[in-house]
Amino acid sequence: MNDRVQRLSDEERRRLLESAHFGRKAPASGKKGMVICSHPLATRAGVDVLKAGGNAADAALAASICQTVVEPHMTGITGVLSMLHFDAATGETTYVNGSAARPAAALERFRLADVATGRGVAVPGFWAGFEAAHARHGQASRQAVMAAAIGYARDGFEIHPFLWGEMFTEYAKAGRTPQGREIFARNNVMLRPGDLLVQERAADTLTALLEEGSDFFYRGAFAKELVDVVQAAGGVLTLEDMERYEARWQPPAEGSYRGYKVLGSPPPDHGGSHLIEILNMVELLDLQKLGPPTDSAETLFHMARIANQVYLDGFRQHDPATHELPLELILSKDYARMRLELMQMDQKVDAGPAPPPAGSNHVTAVDADGNIATVLHSCMSLPWSNGLFAGGVTVVAAGAHYLRVMPGPGDRISAYVCPNIVFDGERPILASGSPSGSLLQNILHNTTNMLDFGIPIGESIDRPSFGGAPYTGPQGTLLIEVDLDEQVRTAAAERGIAWSVVSPWNWELGSFEGIFLDADGTAHARGDPRRNAMALAV
């Protein structure tokens, strides 16, 4: 293959960045490969790798590591990366967990305030997941996969409005250290929208990763700097924790929905198994009679409370490597029937505590041979939660997830992420995922729109949405977009849901990074209006 990925001209980069906006996006279709994620430059990076001869895994990883540079408010190399991969030649679907792990040291009385300190820093899994996924599934060189990320870090790119908005909101943290001000300010004044964001230290770090890999990240100079920064801020991360970390290969969680096979991320990345749990209960509803959630208060009510009940039940699910988890029972149809019957005793919807703040990305890619890679990577919290930097990159506060399920020493966090693939027989027809604390609802309504009602993916994505507990506003309420028919949402509220009505295409309600595949292999996608997403075909 051709390992040379052509660099974009300044004009082409700026043209793509004009598409980094909220609102309706252009659809994409094609048979030679496709990438969708929440930033146009990252999507283009993935497509360029496909054009140079890379496969779906290469493209998804290229987009993912590019996003650590162009979307530092949503992700970072000190965060997490997990991939669900379908190999068209063998029919095998694999899952690699590159999620964060708790350090071995004690963390007594961990509380929300600790997320803003070094105590909220977990052992990062992003690079281990990236390296393992590329070694097993990739065919392009690591240089080709990382070229765009290093180029945008070294040479810069124009700050798009979403990034600037998060910089403005969180600058009290992001600008607290010399490294943070070096990145996001000039002469102690924060950069403006359209200014060039250059990240020289990050470029050096990524270049060292390209050349040295895990020897640099987990055992070398980067590991030492990261540990020193975290411990100086009160954290317990050690070099031994870093050296001990390994990516974990697991069989996907498996279920079915109305005859379709559904594969998803397995616990402790339990968004995929949660999706199967939800679909098992939704399958018991007569959706053909009721209609989609945008049209039916009954469907909206049931989907909202089922998704939230599954989310709340997930608070009891620890890392199955050290805590027994009866996954076969949890994913069974009998258990779904019993749960749905028990829910009829109390019609009130309990939103529960708000999920960890929304900060994450999802990427889905397919190639001309039919391989699929769908990846969740994330900062696992609000951007720059602790204001710490090492090697020119943010130090991610993945310990925000300790507040949901506290892992044992050395265990993986229980992460609310959901790479998934739906199959018609053995043929994949839909691969998707979403960022945000509302990812399950986003994936649920888009998946059922397509499978139950035949709604095209582009139309489904633009329909009004609903989601999990808000991060601000009254506790115990769910979010719903104002454009969802008022009579429908009012009728659902009368059944027992307290809604917080939010803007149309609200970014806290996720971003459906999905690709629908026709029987002839034609791929269809459209960027979600709730983020800066773009879908591009080769």
* C-beta of residue 126 within 8 angstroms of C-beta of residue 81: yes
Stretch among 1-5, 47-51, 455-459 having the lowest mean pLDDT: 1-5
Structural domains of the chain in order of their starting residue, each with its CATH number: 20-249+362-379+386-399 (no CATH), 252-356+420-523 (1.10.246.130)
More confident residue, 314 or 89: 89
- Position 122 scores a pLDDT of 98
- Position 468 scores a pLDDT of 80
Residue 472 reports pLDDT greater than 50: no
- Position 2 scores a pLDDT of 59
Stretch among 262-271, 360-369, 400-409, 528-537 having the lowest mean pLDDT: 400-409
- Position 120 scores a pLDDT of 96
- Position 416 scores a pLDDT of 86
Copy the structure tokens of residue 171: 């600058």
Residue 470 reports pLDDT greater than 90: no
3-class SS of residue 101? strand
* C-beta of residue 528 within 8 angstroms of C-beta of residue 36: no
Mean pLDDT within 239-254? 98
Distance CA 186, CA 209 (A): 27
* C-beta of residue 240 within 8 angstroms of C-beta of residue 219: no
Residue 469 reports pLDDT greater than 70: no
Residue 494 reports pLDDT greater than 70: yes
* C-beta of residue 166 within 8 angstroms of C-beta of residue 377: no
- Position 351 scores a pLDDT of 55
- Position 350 scores a pLDDT of 61
- Position 404 scores a pLDDT of 87
Mean pLDDT within 83-108? 97
More confident residue, 404 or 427: 427
- Position 28 scores a pLDDT of 98
Q: Which residues contact 458 (CB under 8 A, 6 or more apart)?
A: 27, 524, 526
Mean pLDDT within 360-382? 96
Mean pLDDT for all residues in the chain: 94
Give the strand pairing for 499-502 and 478-481. Answer: parallel
Helix (H) or strand (E) holding 63: helix 56-70
Q: Place 373 in a pLDDT band, splitting at 50, 70 and 90.
A: very high
What is each CA distance from 222 to 153, 176, 208, 389, in whole angstroms? 17, 21, 9, 11
Residue 187 reports pLDDT greater than 50: yes
3-class SS of residue 526? strand
Residue 334 reports pLDDT greater than 90: yes
The dihedral region occupied by 311, where left means phi > 0, alpha psi between -120 and 50, and beta the remainder, is alpha
Residue 195 reports pLDDT greater than 90: yes
- Position 344 scores a pLDDT of 84
pLDDT in tens, 75-91: 999 999 999 999 999 99
3-class SS of residue 86? strand
Q: Which residues face 525 on adjacent strands?
A: 28
Distance CA 90, CA 236 (A): 43
Stretch among 158-162, 386-390, 465-469 having the lowest mean pLDDT: 465-469
- Position 5 scores a pLDDT of 64
pLDDT in tens, 426-468: 999 999 999 988 999 999 999 999 999 999 999 999 999 999 8
Q: Among residues 75, 63, 8, 71, which one has the least CA distance to residue 33?
A: 63
- Position 345 scores a pLDDT of 81
Q: Among residues 94, 89, 161, 153, which one has the least CA distance to residue 129?
A: 94
Residue 353 reports pLDDT greater than 70: no
Stretch among 213-227, 355-369, 433-447, 463-477 having the lowest mean pLDDT: 463-477
Q: Is the pTM of this model over 0.85?
A: yes
Q: How far apart are the two ends of the chain, measured CA to CA in Å?
A: 16
Q: Place 473 in a pLDDT band, splitting at 50, 70 and 90.
A: very low
CA 148 to chain centre: 20
Q: Which residues face 366 on adjacent strands?
A: 34, 372
Q: Among residues 212, 205, 248, 239, which one has the least CA distance to residue 389?
A: 205
High-pLDDT (> 90) share of the chain, %: 89
Mean pLDDT within 184-211? 97
